[in-house]
Amino acid sequence: MESAVKKTLMDMMPMLLKASISFLTVLLVMSILWKKRNSLPGPWAVPIVGNFFQLGDQIHITLTDMRNRYGDVFQIKLGLMPIVVVSGLETVKRVLLKEGENFADRPNFYSFSLFSNGSSMTFSEKYGESWKIHKKIMKNALRNLSNESTNSSNCSCRLEEYVCAEASDLVQELTDLSAEKVAFDPSSLIVITVANVVCALSFGKRYDHHDKEFLTLIDFNNDLRKAAGGGLLADFIPILRFIPSSSVKALKKFVQSFHSFIAKCVKDHFATFEENNIRDITDALIQLCKERKSEDKNQLLSDDQIISTVNDIFGAGFDTITSALLWAIFYLLRYPEFQDKIHKEIEEKIGCNRAPRFNDRKDLHYTEAFINEVLRHSSFVPFGLPHCTTMDTKLNGYFLPKGTCVFTNLYQVNHDNTVWKDADMFMPERFLDQNGQIIKSLTEKVLIFGMGVRKCLGEDVARNEMFVIMTIMMQRLKLVKSTKHELDPIPVYGLTLKPKPYYLVAKVRT
């Protein structure tokens, strides 16, 4: 009996072996298909360096082209770090707005740790109660400063007074440089104008344009632009943090120098603070912390957090608004007919006997449409700061574990032909209805300041500043491009996208 069973089993062995192999093969294929179904699409990555060399020097264009191939959610690798790239208006809205708390962290980047020292609301803080308190205090400080009265009867608040004064100085500088009728690059004047507004906003002080301390601040900004590249590369290839590098060394030096400068300014503000004389955002932050002192200490900002907050405001207000104004002038030179339309609107709604003010935005619809089209078409902040998942989550059917780094392709949304008719054309009129009124539902689709919990708190400040500076220029000047230099629409990559240098002459309107 036993031998018969053995014989039967021996006879069945080939068949059992084949069945086992077939079963394991099916299981393996199913496993591969299951993983493929749940894995993110994307280009093949080179070991160690990832997809760096595939991105080219116009990363926003490359990732937008990849979206057409891989869809709204795909993955690339930068160095050793997998990055999920999100495109499409509705998918981006899910990440930033509808499910914003699931994507509200920041990745643990080396450069972020250098900039913030663990105290920044913008760069390093994990999303949670501490971050929410920090955001609330910062938001209230900006609001309080916007409501702070001014000695000037013509301005509604101190911020408006600062912006109007700098805009008038800018017009005078442009006029003086144009006296010899030789075209010049206006970028340094724009940098100085914006820097002085940010200094006034942050420290309550407008500098003489030749002041040594002020020029040091300008140099800080130039140093940051030069140094940032090396620091950013070390975010994705960690070994670069430990290899001697002139760019990483320069980034560290910049951060230390700038942090020391901000810390000194904040210390001086603590020493000279007067409750009934709020001079700037630093005073506004100190005031809010003093008012909360009797409450829960967890509701306060530490001195380091105040320094980092002022640092954040200075950085955000500097490069962003500089880029916005440089692009606005670029389009005004490229399409001079828009200058005439804006000037005509200013003449009809305001006249030429007073300078435009923040409150005029609601009446200058064409000017507002032009500004929105500048923000959309240039998309000078193509991705915004990276986000990171706060928990395991799903996006468009794909599983994203906690800690996944996410890039939102704002450039793609701003140039999506399913959202914008003739998206690659520059047409301010797209934002106006048949009665010449702003279409608010369209302006809300312009993604430059982000949206949701991590949206830039300074959007209104930036828009107001850009509006007043540009309208004061258009009220008094006509800008004429150089006949010897072409306008190149391909941007230069940096902290933001900037236009390549261009040249102009300013003519005083009479």
Which residues carry a binding-site annotation? 456
For the CA atoms of the chain, what is the radius of gyration?
Answer: 27
Hunting for tokens 């193509």 — which residue is that? 382
Cα separation, 325 vs 338, in Å, equals: 15
Element (H, E) at 459: helix 459-476
Cα separation, 424 vs 414, in Å, equals: 9
DSSP E strand stretches across 30-101: 73-78, 81-86
Cα separation, 156 vs 356, in Å, equals: 12
Cα separation, 153 vs 160, in Å, equals: 11
Hunting for tokens 């957090």 — which residue is that? 305
Please give the span between the terminal C-alpha atoms of the chain, in angstroms, as a whole number.
118
For residue 106, give the nearest of 317, 394, 403 by alpha carbon. 403
Q: What is the dihedral of CA 333, 462, 187, 116, to 10 degrees?
A: -150
Cα separation, 363 vs 352, in Å, equals: 15
Cα separation, 506 vs 229, in Å, equals: 35
Beta bridge partners of 46: 50
Element (H, E) at 478: strand 477-481
For residue 63, the tally of other CB atoms under 10 A from its CB is: 23
Cα separation, 325 vs 319, in Å, equals: 10
Tokens of 231: 């620091």
CB-based contacts of 425, cutoff 8 Å, min separation 6? none
Phi and psi at 203, nearest 5°, equal -120, 0
Residue 456 region, left (φ>0) first, then alpha (ψ -120 to 50), else beta?
Answer: beta
Which amino acids are annotated as binding site for heme, given as ranges? 456
Phi and psi at 130, nearest 5°, equal -60, -45
- CA separation, residue 382 to residues 87, 88, 413, 416, 495 (Å): 11, 13, 10, 13, 10
